[in-house]
């Protein structure tokens, strides 16, 4: 069974799907308890119906303020007995209050070798900077955007014939491998 996961997404959801698959196929020592999206248009949610865990849409706009939204988020995660919260393309910034409650229990994947190229469009930034290597990072989430302690990284070489799209694809492929390997390691090591 392993560690209990809650996955937060906002969009495409390829990392989420990959984690769900790895758990269901018992490739990693973890179990998805809930997937939460803040986007009603996350089409990937269709693909994970009836897999034995909850799927919820929780949107900021349905709450009076961010605090109440996060309180709901936190309560739902607790109800499902989530131990580790995995952000996978989740675009909201979590407050200090939420992160205090979930200290060292929230991790995120970012498409660059942090601390380089924080924030949005990291692959484009790396490409335009003409770095020769980029990659992806899984890190703990703290109050600084993409600034929490690095857990692990994977490197991608940028070849002469790469463009932004091919680089994005290469990095995403490594993201999928990295995220499940980190979850598996954390599960074995203990939180």
Residue 5 structure tokens: 């996961």
- Residue 139 is among the residues annotated as catalytic for this protein: no
When asked if residue 89 is in the footprint of ligand GRF (CB under 6 A), the reply is: yes
Candidate ranges 4-12, 57-65, 70-78, 153-161; the one touching ligand GRF (CB under 6 A):
4-12
Candidate ranges 11-19, 47-55, 99-107, 148-156; the one touching ligand GRF (CB under 6 A):
11-19
Catalytic residue among 37, 88, 110, 154: 110
Candidate ranges 71-79, 92-100, 109-117, 182-190; the one touching ligand GRF (CB under 6 A):
109-117
Backbone angles phi, psi at 11, to 5 degrees: -150, -120
State the alpha helices, DSSP H only, in 37-163: 66-79, 96-101, 122-129
CB-count burial class (<10 Å; 0-12, 13-18, 19+) for 131: middle
- CB-based contacts of 6, cutoff 8 Å, min separation 6: 32, 33, 34, 35, 36, 77, 80, 82, 84, 85, 86
When asked if residue 4 is in the footprint of ligand GRF (CB under 6 A), the reply is: no
Residues 146/118, Cβ–Cβ less than 8 Å: yes
Q: Which of residues 113-132 bind ligand GRF (CB under 6 A)?
A: none
Q: Which of residues 49-88 bind ligand GRF (CB under 6 A)?
A: 88
Q: Residue 54's closest CA among 108, 88, 2, 7?
A: 7
Between 52 and 119, name the residue whose CB sits nearer to ligand GRF: 119
Residues 159-188, mask of contacts with ligand GRF (x by CB under 6 A)? -------------x--x-------------
When asked if residue 15 is in the footprint of ligand GRF (CB under 6 A), the reply is: yes
Residue 9: CB minimum distance to ligand GRF, A: 6
Alpha carbon distance 10, 26 (integer Å):
25
Alpha carbon distance 186, 84 (integer Å):
9
> What does the binding site for ligand GRF look like in residue numbers (CB under 6 A)?
9, 11-16, 88-89, 109-111, 172, 175
């Amino acid at each position: 069974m392993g560690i209990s996961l809650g996955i937060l997404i906002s969009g495409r959801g390829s990392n989420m799907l990959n984690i769900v698959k790895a758990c269901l196929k018992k490739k990693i020592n973890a179990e998805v308890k809930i997937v939460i999206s803040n986007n009603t248009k996350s089409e990937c949610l269709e693909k994970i119906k009836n897999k034995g865990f909850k799927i919820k849409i929780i949107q900021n706009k349905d709450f009076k303020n961010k605090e109440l939204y996060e309180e709901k988020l936190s309560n739902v995660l607790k109800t499902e007995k989530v131990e580790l919260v995995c952000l996978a393309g989740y675009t909201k910034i979590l407050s200090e209050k939420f992160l205090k409650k979930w200290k060292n229990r929230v991790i995120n994947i970012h498409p660059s070798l942090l601390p380089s190229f924080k924030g949005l469009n990291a692959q484009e930034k790396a490409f335009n900077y003409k770095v020769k290597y980029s990659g992806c990072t899984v890190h703990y989430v703290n109050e600084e955007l993409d600034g929490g302690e690095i857990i692990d990284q994977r490197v991608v070489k940028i070849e002469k014939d790469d463009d932004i799209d091919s680089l994005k694809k290469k990095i995403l492929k490594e993201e999928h491998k990295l995220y499940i390997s980190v979850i598996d390691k954390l599960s074995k090591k203990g939180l």
